[in-house]
Amino acid sequence: MSKIKKIAVLTSGGDAPGMNPCIRAVVRTAIYHKLDVVGIRQGYQGLIDNNMYDMSPRSVSNILDLGGTILKTARCLPFRTDEGMEIAYNNLKAQGIEALVVIGGDGTFTGALRFSKKYPDIAVMGVPGTIDNDLCGTDYTLGFDTATNTVIEALDKIRDTADAHDRLFFIEVMGRDSGCIALRAGISCGAEAILLPEKETAIHELIASLKAGEHNKKSSSIVIVAEGDKHGGAYDVAQMVKEEIKNYDVKVTILGHLQRGGSPSAFDRILGSRLGYAAVLGLINGETQKMAGLKGNSVRLTSLEEALMVHEYKLEEDLMQMVEILSI
Ligand code: ATP
C-alpha cells in the first residue's frame, strides 16, 4: 500500500462521452479512501497554467448524464517540451499532489508516460477515454459505445430518406486511424460497404458491389467512409463512383462533431465508473504507469507501454468479411 494523500485528475485530447462518469468515480473513490482530490482544467494545459481546484463529492453531483467533460480538455503543445513538463511538475509539487489520473487517448498516455519517467515521484494512472477505441489492453474505450450509437441513430434516419428516393449515400464518420465506429455502425445499420483506414478497398470492387446491389433490386445503398480512408473523404469517394452508378441519386453526408457529443450510454456510464474506481484503487495500491482497462468483463491494469502498442491493434477480420455477406 502506498501512502499517497493527494491526487489530481484531468481529461485530455478529444472529449468523449463517459469522461464525466469517470471523473465522478475518481473523485468519490478517492475521498472515500480519505485522499484529497484536485481537478485540473483543460488537460495538460491546466497543469502548466496552474488551473486547478479542490474537488468534493458535491463537485461531481449530477454529471453522469452529461457529455463532454466538466474539467474541459485541450491539446497542449507546451507539455511536449521539457520546459513545459518541468513547469507542470513544479506546480504539482507546490500543491502536494503525488499522483495523477489522466483520462484520454494515445497522445495523452504518451505524455503521461514521458512525464512519469522523467518525474517518477508522481505516480500516473491512465483511463482510456477516446471515441476511437484504438488502445491496446482494453476492449473498449470511454465514448466509443455512445459515439457508435449516435452514428447508428443518424444512419437509420438517412436510410429512411435514401430508401424513399432510390438514393446512394456516402456517409463520412470519425476515425482518422481507426475504423472501429465505421465497422460497428455499418454492421448495425446494414451498410452496403464500409471503407476503413485499416483496409484498402479498390474502387472498382466498390463499384462492382454497388452495381450488384442495383441488379438485386436494392432501393437504396449506404456506403460508410471512415475519415482516414486512403481514398480521401466521402466526397472524394462519391466523385469516383458517381459516373458508374446511373440509377441512384448520389448524396454525401458528413456527420462531423455531433459524433462526440450527447449523453453517455449506459455502457459508457458503467465503464467510466468502473475504470475511474479501479484507477484510484491502483494508485492506492502503489501502481504507476498503468492504464485501467476492460478485458472480457474484468477490469485489468495494463502498463502504459503495452496500452500504447497501437500498431498491434487490429480490426476484427471476421467482422469485415461478414459485412460483404450480410449486405447482398
Ligand atoms: P484522441 O485519441 O481523442 O485524439 P489523444 O489523447 O490521443 O486523444 P492528443 O491530442 O494526441 O489526444 O494528445 C493529447 C495531449 O497529450 C496533447 O495535446 C499533448 O499535450 C499530450 N501529448 C501527446 N503526445 C505527447 C508527447 N509525445 N509528449 C508529451 N505530451 C504529449
Distance between CA atoms of residues 192 and 222, nearest Å: 5
Residue nearest to atom 13 of ligand 1 (CA): 107
Please state, for a pLDDT cut of 70, what percent of the chain lies above it.
Answer: 99
Q: Is the pLDDT of residue 1 over 70?
A: no
> What is the tens place of the pLDDT at every residue in 200-240?
889 999 999 999 888 888 888 999 999 999 999 999 999 99
Distance between CA atoms of residues 139 and 305, nearest Å: 16
Q: Is the pLDDT of residue 317 over 80?
A: yes
Mean pLDDT of 110-128: 98
The dihedral sign for the CA sequence 75, 76, 82, 84? negative
> What is the tens place of the pLDDT at every residue in 181-190?
999 999 999 9
> What is the tens place of the pLDDT at every residue in 80-94?
999 999 999 999 999
pLDDT for the residue 117: 98
Domains and their CATH numbers in the chain = 6-143+264-312 (3.40.50.450), 146-260 (3.40.50.460)
CA atoms within 13 A on the CB side of 67: 19
Quote the pTM value.
0.95
- Catalytic residue list: 132
Instruction: Measure 308 CA to ligand 1 centroid, in angstroms.
Output: 12
259 marked as part of a ligand binding site: yes
Describe the strand order of the beta sheet including 249-254 as a list of residue ranges. 193-195, 221-226, 167-173, 249-254
Q: What is the largest CA-CA distance in the chain?
A: 70
Around ligand 1, the residues with Cβ closer than 6 Å are 12-14, 44, 75-76, 79-80, 104-108, 110-111, 114, 130, 132
